[in-house]
Chain A
Amino acid sequence: MSTLDERIRSLEESAPLPSANLKRPFRWAVLLGCVTFPLIWAGGLVTSTDAGMAVPDWPNTYGYNMFSYPFESWFFGPWDLFIEHGHRLLGSTAGLVAIMLVISTFRNSKNACLRWMSVFALLLVILQGLLGGVRVLAADRILAMVHGCVGPAFFAFSAAFATVLYQNSRSVSAVSQPTRRTKLQTLTICLTAGSFLQLVLGANMRHIEESASFHWFRLLVLLHVLFATVVLLLTVVIFIIRRANGKQLESIRGTSFLVTLFVIAQYVLGVGTWITKYHWPFGSDQFGVFAGLLTLDKSIVQTSIVTGHVAMGSLILMTSTVMMMQMFSWQITNQPNKDKMIETPTNRDMQVSSLGVQA
């Protein structure tokens, strides 16, 4: 077991590397997340208003280079053109920020994992742009659905990367690590996976083909409701465990509170989405409140609630991902030739990271 001893020794010897330089890429990563969230809103609006095919060409906009499309035609043009072209411009902005993130990471860190993560973020945003473009060129709703899933995944990844950069831009003492972990780590992983699954199910419902079976749609609805309950339960359990363990789990105090808040809000938005779009599902005659309710297609109320439900789903995924990341330590060793992220000595009994990166 000499290799194990050596490994344990190396872990003990390796001190975390607080790096003030990583604050810059951290700020770019935060900016990327800040740009991505309105981008997700705009993407949700594109679907809510059926504006996806308002611009038939790509990467150009009606023959113009995307960035030189006349401002008047865009800003004062039809609503769906405004939304779709705006979505493209915001997407391009996210791409530019992702490029800056890569440059900043490469300039401020020689760590291969950090560099790869920044490149991966850029690749994801490029993939997302391509998916959006091909969806337009092929007029394909399935691609629109995949596009709708990759967007939130990219948002969550940006936040995860920002978390890693945050942890490494501070000393170990500044980043308090939870001590009670194993079960809670699993719960946070399940919550993140559940949140993403909910997004996939929701995207399937929103982008369902007109010729799809009504049995399939109902199955999607039932699964969406079922997993909404699972996500709610997981959130509540995590919240209660964190409350019961006080200072030991101080680092996830904010995120567990936010996830709980977001999930409750998401429940309200989910019910609102169904009612404003499809009316009360159980027959309205015996429910006085809904008996006379008239839904107004593509009204501001309907569009806002439905798009809010989509955006809130992304926010839950992002927050649960950050919470999951906070449950692990991502400190970087300062040992020479150890260009990897490892677990800190104080937490070496932790399990390896969910990303599979280990010392």
Chain B
Amino acid sequence: MMTCGWEVKFAVRRRKRSSAIMKKQIQIANIVVGLFILTIFLGCADKPSFQFNAVSKKEAENGTPFSAEQSQDVANILTALFGTPDDPAMPNVNSFHWYLQYDEGYAEDFATLVDFENLKRSAGPVSSDENGDSRGLYREHCAHCHGISGGGDGPTALTLNPYPRDFRHGVYKFKSTSGKARPTDDDLMHIINEGIPGTSMPSFKVAINDNEKKALVDYVKYLSLRGEIERLLWTMTSELETGERLPLVFADGYDKLSEEEKDNLMGWFEEEGAKVESLFKSWLKAKTSPNVKQPPTAPESFDPKHPEHSTLIAQGREIFHGKAGDCKSCHGFTGYGDGELNNYDVWNQWAKGKSDDYIAEFVNDGALPPRTIAPRNFRNGVFRGGRDPNTLYRRIKEGIQGAQMPNAATLTDDQIWSLVAYVRNIKSEPITGGQSHLPVNDKPIN
């Protein structure tokens, strides 16, 4: 069979084209396989371990980085006191010989702060047994957002708004205790149980049982305490002379030290140990004798059906906009939460008034990019800590710890109740002047 020249040319051209397409397909396949392998290996992470609090460390360094030995000392002390994410520990009497100098009975109370079995149950990798008892609860339910160290810097943190809570300050917004007091176990349990509407904090009502929730409450306290001690250790390190190091009494064991070393350490702890002690005591107090004040009974006119209810709301409105309450400066004239928008909460306070370069250095070292506070928008009728009257009364009376919401020290009980009535009603209040929203205000209101 003869083959014409044009047929051969056509066949060759076709073959070349076919070959070129095939090459392209192989290239595409290579890219896909390459991306697959790349994502697998880039996604690989080391075994979970506690990380330094990048912000506290950098703030304490104040431009002069700590030596590797100094940083290692802090890591050793923390590991000796609190163990690792897989094998947690709680400081015990042996770790705190120096406490015994102050209060012999303190060690017994101290042991009740958290249930060690709860810690073991919450720590470590996720697993469960044939009876359905789960372990590794923290990693299963919390660590993806709050991070292994409880720094609110888990993998998902940057994509969430607001950021997850950083436990390492020991500060919690929604609690029943007064002022700077630590939250009670019930407060933490409430958040785990009910979640926080309008945020990424879910309710764990159906996900875990009550015993597991209690275990998580203890683990959150453990991470808070660990984080607070770490912050304190960085501050202590910053006060050392160049080349000087923190005494490693926790790490190597008190009993191994010579008498002279023990005496020296006692001298050091007489000054610094009290600070550590106060942290433990504050958590103990929240557990054993919390300072929880019940709100007074609301006035009769608080009932929406009461004929004087509108008067109460009007009083609240006056306080909201007047000098007595001055709520408008943050929450805006119309309650849209569009007042002062350039303030920072306690977790982002390090960025306040700092230059972009300064902030960039922190972010490069592992801090989350700082965000300013968004005052509550009352027009949505949503209150993240709960909208029942008693809870709202407490928020106004005590303020919100960590946020810039101050306590209403000068307002009477009746004034506070009128404010509660007003903020619950703002949602249905008509907006005067046709202005639905203020332009974004980036200037502080004094």
Contact = CB atoms under 8 A, between A and B. Distances in A.
A38 interface: no
Nearest to B38: A200
B3 A80 contact: no
B380 A285 contact: yes
B128 interface: yes
B21 A4 contact: no
Interface in B221-240: none
Contact of B161 (A282, A292, A296): A282
A285 B337 contact: yes
A53 B8 contact: no
B158 interface: yes
B132 A281 contact: no
B200 A278 contact: yes
Interface stretch (B23-31, B182-190, B309-317): B23-31
Interface in A38-66: 50-54, 56, 62
Interface string B115-143: 00000000001111111101010011101
B36 A200 contact: yes
A294 B25 contact: no
Contacts of B154: 210, 214
A212 B45 contact: yes
B202 A80 contact: no
A53 B21 contact: no
Interface in B124-181: 125-132, 134, 136, 139-141, 143-144, 147-148, 153-162
Interface string B26-56: 1011011001100110111111110100000
Interface stretch (A188-196, A233-241, A333-341): A188-196
Contacts, number: 203
A298 B155 contact: no
B35 A200 contact: yes
A350 to B, nearest CB: 8
A4 B380 contact: no
Interface in A283-330: 283-286, 288, 290-299
Given A1-B12, A200-B35, A294 B202 contact: yes
Contact of B39 (A79, A201, A215): A201
A16 to B, nearest CB: 20
B32 A196 contact: yes
B22 A352 contact: yes
A50 B21 contact: no
B40 A210 contact: no
Nearest to B46: A211
The residue in A54, A189, A209, A299 that gathers the most chain B C-beta atoms within 10 A of its C-beta is A209
Nearest to A199: B36
A173 interface: no
B380 A78 contact: no
A292 B380 contact: yes
A182 B21 contact: yes
Interface string A68-84: 00000100011111000
A9 interface: yes
Nearest to B162: A283
Interface residues of B, number: 80
A211 B43 CA distance: 10
A297 B141 contact: yes
A146 B41 CA distance: 11
Interface in B187-208: 194-207
Contacts of B374: 283, 285
Contacts of B203: 294-297
Interface string A331-359: 00000000000000000010110101000
Nearest to A196: B32
Nearest to A8: B11
A70 B266 CA distance: 61
A214 B205 contact: no
A146 B37 CA distance: 10
A175 to B, nearest CB: 21
B342 to A, nearest CB: 16
A54 B128 contact: yes
Contact of A284 (B24, B46, B198, B206): B198
A214 B156 contact: yes
B161 A186 contact: no
B214 to A, nearest CB: 17
The residue in A139, A210, A283 that gathers the most chain B C-beta atoms within 10 A of its C-beta is A210
Interface string A146-160: 100100000000000
A95 B320 CA distance: 69
B275 interface: no
A223 B49 CA distance: 28
B171 to A, nearest CB: 21
A297 B131 contact: no
The residue in A81, A145, A297, A349 that gathers the most chain B C-beta atoms within 10 A of its C-beta is A297
A221 B160 CA distance: 12
B297 to A, nearest CB: 28
A142 B36 CA distance: 13
B382 A292 contact: yes
The residue in B46, B128, B199, B206 that gathers the most chain A C-beta atoms within 10 A of its C-beta is B128
B409 interface: no
Contact of A281 (B14, B45, B160): B160
A294 B383 CA distance: 12
A216 interface: yes
Nearest to B17: A351
A217 interface: yes
Nearest to B128: A54
A296 B131 contact: no
Contacts of A27: none
Contact of B128 (A1, A80, A196, A351): A80
A99 B103 CA distance: 72
A51 B140 CA distance: 10
Contacts of B94: none
B15 interface: yes
Contacts of B35: 197, 200
A107 interface: no
Contacts of A145: 40, 43
A288 B132 contact: no
A189 B199 contact: no
A145 B153 CA distance: 22
Nearest to B387: A292
Given A211-B47, A217-B155, 5 more contacts: A197-B32, A212-B45, A278-B159, A281-B161, A295-B202
Top 4 closest pairs, chain A to chain B, by CB: A78-B132, A209-B45, A291-B380, A210-B143
Interface of A: 1, 4-5, 8-9, 50-54, 56, 62, 73, 77-81, 139, 142, 145-146, 149, 182, 186, 189-190, 193, 196-197, 200-201, 204, 208-218, 220-221, 278-279, 281-286, 288, 290-299, 349, 351-352, 354, 356
11 contacts: A53-B125, A77-B132, A78-B128, A146-B40, A196-B36, A208-B144, A211-B49, A284-B161, A291-B197, A293-B197, A295-B200
